[in-house]
Chains A and B, each alone.
Chain A
Amino acid sequence: MAEILRVNMTDRTATFEEVPEKYQHLAGRGLTSTILYDEVDPTCHPLGPNNKLVFAPGLLTGSVAPTTARVSVGGKSPLTGTIKESNAGTGWGQQLAKLGIKAVVVEGHPKEEGWWGLQVTKDGAEFFEADEYAGRSLYEMAPSIFERFGDRAGMMTIGVAGEKKMTMAGLCFNDRENRPSRYSGRGGLGAVAGSKGLKFIIVDDTDGPGVEIADKDLFDQGRKKMLNALRSHDITKPKGGLNTYGTAVLVNIVNEAGGYPTRNFREGRFEKAAATSGEAIFEGNQERLGEELYNHACSPGCVIQCSNTWFDEDGEEMVSCIEYESTWSLGANCGIGDLDTIGKLIWLCNDLGIDTIEAGNVIGVAMDSGLAEFGDGETAIKWLDEDIRQGTHLGHILGQGTDFTANAFGNERSPTVKGQGMPAYEPRAIKGIGMTYAISTMGADHTSGYTIAPEILAVGGDVDQFDVDKAELVRAFQQTTAFIDMSGHCLFIAFAILDIAEGFEGLVEECNGLLGTDWTGDDVTRIGQEILDKELAFNRAAGFTAADDRVPEFMRYEPLPPHDVTWDVPDETLDAVFGEA
């Protein structure tokens, strides 16, 4: 029987509770957002005693369904002030699920200074003193954790940024090689862990009960359909787009489209983009290693395998992974056009425990404010490696995120929504992603608007990307994404199941097989909307209104080259997405 692990950091107790009936069919984002809605005062200070940090593996996480190693983490975000769900692909989530743990709820506030870890095994949960691990480089520190707890343990940790309660701090998980490189990066949840004195959650599922499956035949039928879809779609198949070039396969495309934000969103095309693309990573590695290198899985059981590794001139590993968002944020957005500098900056983000997207936004805004020239990689490295690492006054300003930095230096060009820095797509050139950023419950977030099969999107009316009113399409994206985030599947399954109907059937059958439910395609959008309703209610109670569902004002009056376009989607269209229309 699955349980909820409740961890109180005030008195350092950890207790297992039965899962309430109403949570039985929830998991992942569905569960983190519901627990926050049920238990957390939306007006609380994110770093105070009344916020909670909730970890929940997806519904299918820990099962043999392909590409399902996601763990969701929720809390009230210190970056945005909204509800937050940020998920990561890591064996850590699978281990939690296989121990029969549906969620870990971390609450309270320590009475004294000091860092603590929690070790979770089949025998229970125990605290351990963690002061000796604090203040250290994550790459230097991580091996000592695996030495102590064993190579097969899973690690959740925070870096110095989280310890210093910086709002760009993420939560770090281990990848398959036990690198500290998989992140629930967005929204500053690392600072929430820091505020609670929580340095680690170490998980080992040895001899755990595993994941219960109600109808194995149906589950197997579903996962095989999913597997076939993932293995045959051009984007997700072996040696396909993602496996060859990683997510950075998008660099050249979005750059050519004029939607690749450059030098703090001043231009939509970067002259050096091609040298920082997925193709350049693939060819660059081939040149340095003397052989083709395809990408690897970030977590056990992934068949898409989109994680890359960048090697230095001597053929030594520099960093894994250079994602699309990271090569953009620390590249074009800062005017930096070489992969070795970008790789070093990503390594530093992983080492310090910070979100690469927010970090690149911050550096871009700082350069735009005159603190350094665009393209000055040396200064960018110094800001991370010295100022943030040591916690200088400048480091604390930068560490508080894009809006804070822009305000500190009087710059009105802050590319955020609800205080969260934008990812690598320009709203003025690609209007749909601008709508997604604006109305997402999470602040500017590129992962909140994925699509599923058209027949599902058509629920409630005709769907037409050319309609003047795009609100319905955007709403359907949000619903289906919320469901995938609950399922435990990586969002990238959406590429295959939008185009291959059998893959979508597989998703529903996997879930029904696991739970013993009889959900249909309609339930996918219904359940997705129920998750969104709780997130929207939380945000409204926290003080957010429709006026917060907007892209920054400068995008309305500053034309973006090369298309020379401004943001012109009417406010009414944005308001209609979750409005009463």
Chain B
Amino acid sequence: MSDRMTVEVWLYGPVSRYGKEIDQDLVQDRRVEASYGQLHLRLREGSTVTDLLEHLKLPPEEKGITFINGNLAAMPGVDTDRDVELHDGDRVGISHRRSMWPFQYRFGASLDETLRDSFRERKDRGIHHAYTEPDE
């Protein structure tokens, strides 16, 4: 197991159910409630957020905001977290699509570098509340 690392994962809202389904071999410990799940996972070193989501079998369309170590790493419609490599001791928070973080309450908060770069390149500079198309 020397090539394994421990990552703390928090799942919020309905996506918490994927915490129950993950392969037992990867689980160090877990507490899964209906509204949230907290898991310590033993993942292969070099694993990315995409690898984590695959382990969880969490469909992309259900995933909302991602945090890595308290830094905002992805929002619905801006999936900049995919290739981010995780490290031993990291904390990852994943919320359901229905959660939100309006701009005025995240203005000046800490962003993961990849998301920051993505926002810098956008014409709107990342000040929208949502990045998904409204429903018809």
Q: Chain A: residues with CB nearer than 8 A to chain B?
A: 229, 232-235, 237, 240-242, 244-245, 249-250, 252-254, 256-259, 268-269, 274-275, 277, 279-280, 282-284, 286-287, 425, 429-436, 446, 449-451, 454, 457, 463-466, 470, 473, 477, 494-495, 498-500, 562-563
- The answer to whether A463 and B108 have CB atoms under 8 Å apart is no
Decide yes or no: A280 and B36 within 8 Å by CB, A257-B67, A465-B127, A499-B130 being known contacts: yes
Q: Which of B12, B69, B101, B116 contacts A277 (CB 8 A)?
A: B12
A-B CB contact pairs (8 Å), 24 listed = A234-B97, A237-B134, A244-B98, A252-B93, A252-B99, A254-B105, A256-B95, A257-B70, A257-B106, A257-B110, A274-B10, A277-B12, A279-B99, A432-B106, A433-B104, A433-B105, A434-B108, A465-B107, A466-B119, A470-B108, A498-B103, A498-B128, A499-B134, A562-B69
A249 cross-chain contacts in B, Cβ below 8 A: 98-100
B17 CB to nearest A CB, Å: 11
- The answer to whether B70 and A465 have CB atoms under 8 Å apart is no
Question: A433's closest neighbor in chain B, by CB?
Answer: B105
A433 cross-chain contacts in B, Cβ below 8 A: 104-105, 107-108
- The answer to whether A498 and B129 have CB atoms under 8 Å apart is yes
* A268, B70: Cα distance in complex, Å: 10
- The answer to whether A430 and B108 have CB atoms under 8 Å apart is yes
Decide yes or no: A257 and B72 within 8 Å by CB, A279-B35, A465-B127 being known contacts: yes
- The answer to whether B129 and A430 have CB atoms under 8 Å apart is no
* A531, B14: Cα distance in complex, Å: 43
B93 cross-chain contacts in A, Cβ below 8 A: 252, 256
A277 cross-chain contacts in B, Cβ below 8 A: 12, 35-36
A240 cross-chain contacts in B, Cβ below 8 A: 98
* A562, B124: Cα distance in complex, Å: 29
- The answer to whether B128 and A562 have CB atoms under 8 Å apart is no
* A434, B101: Cα distance in complex, Å: 16
A235 cross-chain contacts in B, Cβ below 8 A: 100, 102, 129-130
Decide yes or no: A274 and B110 within 8 Å by CB, A232-B135, A235-B129, A253-B100 being known contacts: no
Interface residue B76 (Cβ < 8 Å from any Cβ of A): yes
* A259, B12: Cα distance in complex, Å: 17
Interface size on B, residues (CB 8 A): 45
Within 8 A of A (CB), among B51-106: 65, 67, 69-70, 72, 76, 93, 95-106
A269 CB to nearest B CB, Å: 7
B86 CB to nearest A CB, Å: 15
Question: A324's closest neighbor in chain B, by CB?
Answer: B105
- The answer to whether B105 and A250 have CB atoms under 8 Å apart is yes
A415 CB to nearest B CB, Å: 17
* A170, B103: Cα distance in complex, Å: 28
B109 cross-chain contacts in A, Cβ below 8 A: 257, 259, 429-432
A446 cross-chain contacts in B, Cβ below 8 A: 105
A527 CB to nearest B CB, Å: 20
- The answer to whether B125 and A274 have CB atoms under 8 Å apart is no
Decide yes or no: A432 and B104 within 8 Å by CB, A232-B135, A466-B120 being known contacts: yes
A7 CB to nearest B CB, Å: 36
A450 cross-chain contacts in B, Cβ below 8 A: 104
Q: Which of A232, A258, A563 contacts B134 (CB 8 A)?
A: A232
B107 cross-chain contacts in A, Cβ below 8 A: 430-433, 465, 470, 473
Question: A467's closest neighbor in chain B, by CB?
Answer: B125
B121 CB to nearest A CB, Å: 11
* A232, B12: Cα distance in complex, Å: 23
* A572, B33: Cα distance in complex, Å: 47
Question: B67's closest neighbor in chain A, by CB?
Answer: A256
- The answer to whether A436 and B104 have CB atoms under 8 Å apart is yes
- The answer to whether A435 and B108 have CB atoms under 8 Å apart is yes
* A235, B64: Cα distance in complex, Å: 12
B36 cross-chain contacts in A, Cβ below 8 A: 252, 274-275, 277, 279-280
A435 cross-chain contacts in B, Cβ below 8 A: 108
- The answer to whether B127 and A463 have CB atoms under 8 Å apart is yes
Q: Which of A234, A250, A464 contacts B130 (CB 8 A)?
A: A234
Decide yes or no: A234 and B33 within 8 Å by CB, A430-B108, A430-B109 being known contacts: no
Q: Which of B108, B116, B134 contacts A234 (CB 8 A)?
A: B134
Interface residue B1 (Cβ < 8 Å from any Cβ of A): no
B129 CB to nearest A CB, Å: 5
- The answer to whether B70 and A454 have CB atoms under 8 Å apart is no
Q: Which of B35, B102, B129 contacts A284 (CB 8 A)?
A: B35
- The answer to whether B101 and A253 have CB atoms under 8 Å apart is yes
A185 CB to nearest B CB, Å: 19
Interface residue B132 (Cβ < 8 Å from any Cβ of A): yes
* A457, B125: Cα distance in complex, Å: 12
Decide yes or no: A274 and B12 within 8 Å by CB, A470-B108, A498-B103 being known contacts: yes
- The answer to whether A454 and B13 have CB atoms under 8 Å apart is no
* A200, B97: Cα distance in complex, Å: 43
Decide yes or no: A258 and B105 within 8 Å by CB, A249-B98, A465-B119 being known contacts: no
Q: Which of B12, B70, B106, B132 contacts A252 (CB 8 A)?
A: B12
